Structure 1
Amino acid sequence: MATMVPPIPTTEDHNKVDEKVDYFNLPCPIPFEELHREAMMSLKPDLFEGMRFDFTKMLNQKFCLNHSVMMGPTEIPSQSAETIKIPTANYDFGATFIDHPRLLLLGRVMTDGRVNARVKYDVSENLTFKANAQLTNEPHMSHGMFNFDYKGKDYRTQFQLGNGALLGASYIQSVTRHLSLGGEVFWAGQHRKSGVGYAARYNTDKWVATGQVASTGMVLLSYVQKVSEKVSLASDVMCNYLSRDVTASFGYDYILRQCRLRGKIDSNGCVGAYLEERLNMGLNFILSAELDHRKKDYKFGFGLTVGE
């Protein structure tokens, strides 16, 4: 009888050994609120209607001024099926102070009376404090939010405090090199509502899959395939098992040498595209389009962005 020769180890066998999980050396996951960030880049571009002009002036390395002009129609609530729009024009003035890498101060004033403010301060290497506020003349529309983010070696946690007795907390933990699991809980005292949510995220160099479910009825699934370094395809399914509403979307993100093109289409018959063309150093041209065939609502916009 011939002697049985043991198989020669191959490269695949070595890779299987190398893929053994080191639970004491796991990567830190992304924040819970950014679970779907790759999908949102393609599926949620900053679409607008009309004309937009943004100008940023750097005064020094830490301080800059921002000017923004927006002219276009604004939708107003209506009981009819048709969308009613009125022409509007707004001017926004803002200032930004960045003391890299620990402090960020941002303020913005609009001609309609709104004032926005944002603060981000790194208290330590692991602890970050964030604050967002909006003041407006409309009753019960002003709000503020305070966040405390703690970044551990292989986990992240966040505590939120907002007006209207809003309390929230989230936690996400890396389970393996590619898989992370998390959960969140919130309480809105003013509206007497509470909720609990769970999430899972699996990411590799080529694709990212995320799932999220909440007791409010929301279920969100997203998937992003990185075709190459410059091309990404994304899809998501959002549903509410209480109201039986379901929406599916498909999008793409294509980065060329001088421009970036993003677009999406969803199951409601809405198609959108967003193009950023770099004309020169510090000068970008923007095109935006959104076609809602079900509502017969068509939006087109163009703009210029000056400054870095």
Structure 2
Amino acid sequence: MASFPASSEKPSGPTAFAPYLDTVANIFHPVAGPVLNTYGRFHGWKESMGLVQPGTVENLTREIQQVQLANWSFDGARADVAKVVSANPAFQLTHSFSLGSTTRPPAYNFGAIFANAKTFLQGGVDGSGTVTMRANQTWAPTDITKVQAQLTNKAGQSMLQVEHDHLGPHYSFSWKSMNPGVLDGTGIHIASLLHSFSPRLSLGFETVIQHPQPSILETATSYVAKLTSLPNAIEQLTPTIPGQPAPFYPSWTATAQLQPSGNVQATYYQKLSDKVDVALDLQTIIQPASMLGPAKREALATLGAKYDFRMATFRGQIDSAGKIGMYLEQRFTPAFAFLVAGEIDHAKNASKFGVGIMIESSTMTQEEMIAAGMLTPV
């Protein structure tokens, strides 16, 4: 029987460039060695502090937005009809109808959504011909690029926005450009950084660069702070994607933002239980006297709460200006929901009220929907 050698590869020896590489390394070692050692000790010190991924400045008040009514309240009548064509990758078609007050004509919007593990695409067109789009692309667990655009025949209302988020282990950096000029750099650019300094405290800033014309350049910087509760044992055991910063979901969060004008926005979010969330928002309004009006020194406090029931979600809100609002989403079946929204402004003696429905249908069979997690097996 013929025998074959275990390996035909010859052991690799030193190359002709090895002496030169060693010489270069010896030249730079007296300078690079201490720098690398200092960085290694600094990195180890940071790891020993138990720092967390703080999120981005844009999502600093994300929990508050989920409780308050700014993104949920509406008036008049609305109907949203969605059809799920595929679950993986997700593909959905939507039809939205709205009927508001006499000053706002009826509106219709057709949209489509496509999403998989790394890509999210959303597009829509309304009755006036305005086209909107949004695209998110995840290049790596720590880097995501977002693009938003709007095309319309109304002068000055078409826009393009490009954004990139980088999530480091203990920090996040974001860059956003609105209507950027490729050749002259004009447009509105926003740079933000948020860094974790302890397991509870994160500090950062957001700089807005307004460059409408090559000869005009204005900058304004605001400073932000975020204080959270400590991670608990359940949060530490949450499974994560390899290479992605561990998620951190605190039971309470307090934020503060100092704007260039001197105004301050402070928020507090508390998760009282699995079904109850409360949020408090305080904003100061400091405006010097000008041609637009007299000096103004005011403050507005808003308190909101969200209750999650088995088949319904209720949001209630009240502010220091005498405005009371509510929003109820009642699901009778997984495919049908009834919406009710209302608001009363006692200071202005005004009110608004809205009702709506949401209907979802699918071309998938019951077995496919159960496999995709859209239905619970009986």
TM bin, normalised by shorter chain, reads 0.7 to 0.9
Tell me how far 1:45 sits from its aligned partner.
4.3
Question: Is the strand fraction higher in 1 or 2?
Answer: 1
Using the size of structure 1 for normalisation, the TM-score is 0.85
2:93 paired with 1:65: yes
Aligned with residue 95 of structure 1, among 109, 112, 116: 112
Secondary structure (helix, strand or coil) at the match of 1:39 reads: helix
Q: Which whole-Å CA distance do the structure 2 matches of 1:234 and 1:25 have between them?
A: 27
2:340 paired with 1:287: yes
| Matching residue of 1:227 | 272
2:297 paired with 1:244: yes
**Cα 1:137–1:295 shift into 2, 3 Å:** farther
2:243 paired with 1:213: no
| Matching residue of 2:131 | 115
2:81 paired with 1:55: yes
Structural mapping, 1:141-160, within 5 Å: 141-160=157-176
Aligned with residue 189 of structure 2, among 167, 178, 188: 167
Q: Which whole-Å CA distance do the structure 1 matches of 2:336 and 2:163 have between them?
A: 35
Q: Which whole-Å CA distance do the structure 1 matches of 2:251 and 2:146 have between them?
A: 32
Aligned with residue 150 of structure 2, among 127, 131, 134: 134
1:7-29 Cα offsets, whole Å, 9 max, x none, are: xxxxxxxxxxxxxx954642211
- Whether the 8 Å contact between 2:50 and 2:198 is mirrored in structure 1 is no
Identity, % of aligned pairs?
A: 32
Q: Which whole-Å CA distance do the structure 2 matches of 1:139 and 1:215 have between them?
A: 30
- Whether the 8 Å contact between 1:224 and 1:235 is mirrored in structure 2 is yes
| Matching residue of 1:194 | 219
1:274-307 Cα offsets, whole Å, 9 max, x none, are: 0011110121111100112222221111111112
**Structure (1 or 2) with the larger CA radius of gyration:** 2
Structure 2 counterpart of 1:167, which letter? H
In structure 1, runs of 5+ residues without a counterpart are: 1-20, 74-84
Q: Which whole-Å CA distance do the structure 1 matches of 2:129 and 2:320 have between them?
A: 37
Secondary structure (helix, strand or coil) at the match of 1:59 reads: strand
| Matching residue of 1:38 | 63
Q: Which whole-Å CA distance do the structure 1 matches of 2:208 and 2:97 have between them?
A: 37
| Matching residue of 1:11 | none
Secondary structure (helix, strand or coil) at the match of 1:295 reads: coil
- Whether the 8 Å contact between 1:106 and 1:119 is mirrored in structure 2 is yes
| Matching residue of 1:6 | none
CA RMSD, 1 decimal: 1.9
Tell me how far 1:86 sits from its aligned partner.
2.0
Structure 1 counterpart of 2:76, which letter? G
| Matching residue of 1:3 | none
- Whether the 8 Å contact between 1:23 and 1:176 is mirrored in structure 2 is no
Tell me how far 1:192 sits from its aligned partner.
5.0
Q: Which whole-Å CA distance do the structure 1 matches of 2:113 and 2:261 have between them?
A: 37
Structure 1 counterpart of 2:358, which letter? T
Tell me how far 1:133 sits from its aligned partner.
1.0
Q: Which whole-Å CA distance do the structure 2 matches of 1:306 and 1:51 have between them?
A: 14
Question: Is the helix fraction higher in 1 or 2?
Answer: 2
Secondary structure (helix, strand or coil) at the match of 1:168 reads: strand
Secondary structure (helix, strand or coil) at the match of 1:247 reads: strand
Runs of 4 or more, structure 1, over 3 Å off, are 21-25
Q: Which whole-Å CA distance do the structure 1 matches of 2:219 and 2:308 have between them?
A: 41
1:15-71 Cα offsets, whole Å, 9 max, x none, are: xxxxxx954642211211011111222223411111111111111233211110111
Aligned with residue 352 of structure 2, among 293, 299, 302: 299
In structure 2, runs of 5+ residues without a counterpart are: 1-45, 180-185, 230-249, 288-295, 362-378
1:238-261 Cα offsets, whole Å, 9 max, x none, are: 113334232111111111112111
Aligned with residue 307 of structure 2, among 250, 254, 273: 254
Q: Which whole-Å CA distance do the structure 1 matches of 2:142 and 2:170 have between them?
A: 12
Structure 1 counterpart of 2:159, which letter? H
